[in-house]
Amino acid sequence: MKKYLIIILILFSYLGVSFAGINIQGGIKYVTASSSLTESAEEPTNPSEGDKWRNVETNELKVYTSGEWVLQNSNELALSSSDIQVLNDNGTISVSKSYIKVVGNGGAVTLNNDPAIEDGTNGKIVVIQGTSDTNTVTIANGVNTKLANGVSITLGEDDTVGFMFNGSEWVEIIQRSDK
């Protein structure tokens, strides 16, 4: 039995598995949080990155990340939201959050300089939503963006487009327009 356990441990070590919070190489990473869990009806004050909180009224488990509480281990997908980004012609969309609202600065704008969207990490997904039918934002193809059929997309009010970063460019994965 000891012999098999040692062989398994050597194999895991070779594969890059870490036993202080499981970390598997090859693009898949599982990390256990070291922070404590707060259980209350109100959000904890002065949280630190990685803190966990269970709302005793809704039973939702949330983790504090990037300055906000986000759902964890739920059946819902909750994207972290940014303030509305006001863009100029040839501007760049910041991807500090996963759900980004955009509007042109004083009129319709086109993002046709590279990068139209700042580079992300490999596999990062963002959803970008327009907020105005007057101050639209057009995202051009080929400026670190790969849009469906190579065609630019114009985002008016409530129009959305989703991208995934592949390590060198943002590839369109979904879009919706009410036009």
User: What's residue 176's pLDDT?
Assistant: 81
Strand 85-87 relative to strand 99-104, pairing = parallel
Residues 136, 14: Cα–Cα separation, whole Å: 52
Give one DSSP letter per residue of the chain, joined into a string: -HHHHHHHHHHHHHHT-BTTTTB-SSS-B-----SPEEEESSPPSS--TT-EEEETTT--EEEEETTEEEE-SSSS----BPPPEEE-TT--B--SSSEEEEEESSS-EEE-SS-SB----TT-EEEEEE--SSS-EEEPTTSSEE-GGG--EEE-TT-EEEEEE-SSSEEEEEEE---
Structure tokens at 115: 């990068």
Torsion, CA 157, CA 170, CA 82, CA 174, rounded to 10: 50
User: What's residue 60's pLDDT?
Assistant: 78
**Per-residue tens of pLDDT for the chain, all 179 residues:** 444 434 443 444 444 444 333 333 333 333 344 457 888 888 888 888 888 888 888 777 888 887 888 777 555 566 777 789 999 999 999 998 889 999 999 999 999 999 999 999 888 899 999 999 999 999 999 999 999 999 999 999 999 999 999 999 999 999 887 66
User: What's residue 67's pLDDT?
Assistant: 82
User: The whole model's pTM is what?
Assistant: 0.60
The distance between the two most distant Cα atoms of the chain, rounded to a whole number of Å, is 72
User: What's residue 13's pLDDT?
Assistant: 42
Residues 36, 128: Cα–Cα separation, whole Å: 34
